[in-house]
Chains A and B, each alone.
Chain A
Amino acid sequence: DARVTQTPRDKVTEMGQEVTMRCQPILGHNTVFWYRQTMMQGLELLAYFRNRAPLDDSGMPKDRFSAEMPDATLATLKIQPSEPRDSAVYFCASGRGGVNTEAFFGQGTRLTVV
């Protein structure tokens, strides 16, 4: 049963701490997306990769966020230092093709920064 796996499912951290969220895309998918969902802003596309190369990260605050794909089986989203306003659910999705590919979502990481 192929699925996108995200870890951790829940994370509570103190302001100023580094947070790393991980995503294992579906095997064979070459496009990976990071989304953020908050009550205030709704759903936002933060970044996406194709063939491990970052194609667009314009939705991501550059000063504290970074997204990488060290290999085809792992995508990471880091926040350093974290702030309370970063509290959100972060979704990873993977697919085949470009930004408009059918994307399969992970269950999300619920981040709470206190």
Chain B
Amino acid sequence: GIQVEQSPPDLILQEGANSTLRCNFSDSVNNLQWFHQNPWGQLINLFYIPSGTKQNGRLSATTVATERYSLLYISSSQTTDSGVYFCADEGGYQKVTFGTGTKLQVIP
């Protein structure tokens, strides 16, 4: 099946800093999504982005399907951005595979 690699695995940021999270895929990107899980375990769907760029407030995501990767940008980070960010893709036959996540800690 498709392999999903996320980097970096861990990231510590000072509040106000910007960051880029990356997701690499072993196979063609079909229906990529980004999720955020806050420190209390709540999951939120951030973006559905099979290709191109989308923005939502301080977050934006870009997927280059031909190069098999996606990037999540966080600008002017806040402590509420802390948590784990997952990417996932549907690798055919409606089988969704998640990456192992990037754990982000934003410190004041």
Contact = CB atoms under 8 A, between A and B. Distances in A.
Instruction: Specify whether A and B are partners.
Output: yes
Instruction: Name the prevailing secondary structure of the A interface residues.
Output: strand
Given A45-B96, A99-B96, A105 B44 contact: yes
Contacts of A108: 41, 43
A65 interface: no
B86 A100 contact: no
Chain B contact residues (Cβ within 8 angstroms of A): what range? 20 to 34
A105 B98 contact: no
Contact of B43 (A91, A99, A101): A91
A59 B41 contact: no
A47 to B, nearest CB: 10
A103 B45 contact: yes
Interface of A: 35, 42-45, 48, 55-56, 58-59, 89, 91, 93, 95, 99-105, 107-108
Interface of B: 31, 33, 35, 41-45, 48, 50, 86, 88, 90, 93-96, 98-101
Given A45-B98, A59-B95, A100-B50, 10 more contacts: A42-B86, A42-B99, A56-B93, A56-B94, A56-B95, A93-B45, A99-B94, A102-B48, A103-B45, A105-B45
